[in-house]
Amino acid sequence: MTAEFAAVVPAAVLVLAFCLAGAQIGAQQVRLQDAAADTARALARGDDVAAAGVRAGQVHADLASSVSGDLICARLTAPAATAVPLASVLSVTAVSCALDGGR
C-alpha cells in the first residue's frame, strides 16, 4: 500500500459518509413535508391538535400550528436523523398550509 493511497482512503470514506447523510436528510425532508401536509389538512377539518399531531408523532417531530387569515399552517421540526454524528446538529423543518374550513 502506498502512502498516497493510505491518505486518500479515509478522505474518500468521509466524503461517501456525508453524501449518504445528505441522502438520508433529503428523504427525511420528504417524509416531514408529507406529514406537515396531512397535519395541516387535519387541523383545517377541525380536528384537535392531539389528533392532528398523530402524524407528526410518527415522524418524531415537534408540531407548531398557526392561523393566518383563511389558512391554518402546520410547522414540523425534527432533528436530522443520520448515522453521521456531526450532521445531527442540523434540524429539518417543513411547513404546510390548508384552507381553514373547520371553523
| pTM of the shown model | 0.80
- Average of pLDDT values for 21-43? 91
Q: What is the mean pLDDT of residues 32-55?
A: 87
* Confidence at residue 54, expressed as pLDDT on a 0 to 100 scale: 82
How far apart CA 66 and CA 94 sit, in angstroms, is 13
Tell me what pLDDT residue 87 has: 66
Q: Can you give the residue ranges of every domain in the chain?
A: 3-99
In one-letter notation, the amino acid at residue 73 is: C
Strand partners, 75: 64, 95
